[in-house]
Amino acid sequence: MIVAKYIYEYKNWTNFTWRETDINALFGEVRNLQGKINGQMNTLGFVTKEEANLATLTLDVIKSSEIEGEKLDYDQVRSSIARRLGINMAGLVTTNRNVEGVVEMMLDANQNYNKALTNKRLFGWHSALFPGGHSGIHKIKVGAYQSGEMQIVSGAIGKEKVHYDAVPAGKVKEEMDIFLKWFNGNSTLDPVLKAAIAHFWFIIIHPFDDGNGRIARAISDLMLARADGTAERYYSMSSQILVERKQYYEVLQKVQHSSGDITDWLKWFLSCLKNSLLATEITLRKIMRKSEFWKTHENTSLNERQRFVLNKLLEGFDGKLKSSKWAKMTKCSSDTALRDIKDLMDKGILRQEQQGGRSTNYELIDFLF
């Protein structure tokens, strides 16, 4: 008797099972947190909700790519999303086609969450991810399922370690048809659990030459949007997966060898989602703080440079604010930067940092909200 190496080698492998007693409490916590966060957001004004949605989507795009080792420019991603959602904001920058492609896929998953997931739609996502037909320096098959042997390998040449042999190319279309029929079908399964199963199922099939992880996460986001009943996103699963990336790969590797019991995967997914929802409460406080700041200063006379830098500070500025950094960010002279900063100090918005040092740093004066 030949023992199956991977889950997909078992007969009727997609008849997944799990121990409900192991996930019920966690599932209940997740559902309660989702309801709590959606309830909080519904009490906020339109502009604040719009800002929260923009911040979450930006984070989701950046972190999903970072999981795969690709770092995208924050301002480019934010600008691309803002333009596509019709959000007016200062400091929009031009974006490259790689950023536009990832944004296009993620927005389609979230904004059109009620539309059916089809082969054609997935091919469109894949083409958007790889607009030049290359993954790094390697030419890949784009907008179509893989047609050759697919392995996930690590290690130097000659010392490679095979982590996974994907479903044989000849069976990919058949397996994807089964997956899509299940995904689009009506069932009594809660959409949060369906999001978890869909992520795992898609990763196991591994239908594309590259981009499977990002597409799996987009599929999860689509189903989580259905769970929330809204295209507005206030939490980022991808951000939390990046934090827990080691465990993410460990549990995938473990459960890919199971005979159909995916309890460990569901437990990890629900735990990760719970942590994502808890982290969102911190992010929402930042957004509410920013909203309150601008409400307080709606009649304060400020130029575009000042508004741009203040927004950066309110969103979580990277590093120390110096006059030289101000000049570089706003493309102005050092003298103009100092005048801008002094004006904000006179208006009680900025102050010098207490610690001093060789160069002068500036910070926002705390305000209550």
Q: For residue 234, give both structure tokens.
A: 């206030």
**Nearest alpha-carbon partner for 329 in 142, 337, 274:** 337
* pLDDT at 366 exceeding the cut of 90: no
Taking alpha carbons only, the member of 26, 34, 20, 15 closest to residue 197 is 15
CATH hierarchy code of domain 7-289: 1.10.3290.10
In the prediction, which pLDDT does 137 show?
72
8 A C-beta contact, residue 260 and residue 17: yes
Handedness of CA 245, 251, 257, 258 (dihedral sign): negative
Residue with tokens 């082969």, as numbered in its chain: 119
What pLDDT shows up at residue 349? 94
What does the pLDDT read at residue 4? 63
CB distance 274 to 30 below 8 Å: yes
Question: At residue 237, does pLDDT exceed 80?
Answer: yes
CATH code of 305-364, in short, is: 1.10.10.10
- Judge whether 247 and 268 are in contact, CB under 8 Å: yes
For 104-126, b/e burial (b = at least 16 CB within 10 A) is bbbbbbbbebeeebeeebbeebb
Rounded Cα gap, residues 249 and 101, in angstroms? 25
pLDDT at 316 over 80: no
Residue of higher predicted confidence among 283 and 295: 295
DSSP E strands, 82-217: 134-135, 138-139, 151-154, 161-165
Query: For 32-57, how does the pLDDT look when each residue is reduced to its tens digit (9 = 90+)?
Result: 999 988 888 888 788 888 888 998 99
pLDDT at 162: 61
d(CA 61, CA 221): 11
Every domain of the chain and the residues it spans:
7-289, 305-364
Q: Which residue has the tokens 């990277």?
A: 318
Mean pLDDT confidence for 14-28:
96
Task: Give the pLDDT score at 2.
Answer: 47
Give mean pLDDT, residues 291-302: 89
Q: Check pLDDT > 70 for residue 178.
A: yes
| Confidence at residue 369, expressed as pLDDT on a 0 to 100 scale | 43
Residue-wise pLDDT for 108-137, tens only, equals 999 999 999 999 999 999 999 998 877 777
Mean pLDDT over the full length of the chain: 89
Residue 250 near residue 138, CB atoms below 8 Å: no
Residue type, 14: T
Q: Please tell me the predicted confidence (pLDDT) of residue 1.
A: 40
What is the model's pLDDT at position 250?
94
* Residue linked to tokens 């659990």: 193
The pLDDT of residue 288:
78
pLDDT value at residue 153:
59
Cβ-proximal residues to 254 (8 Å cutoff; 6+ apart), any chain = 264
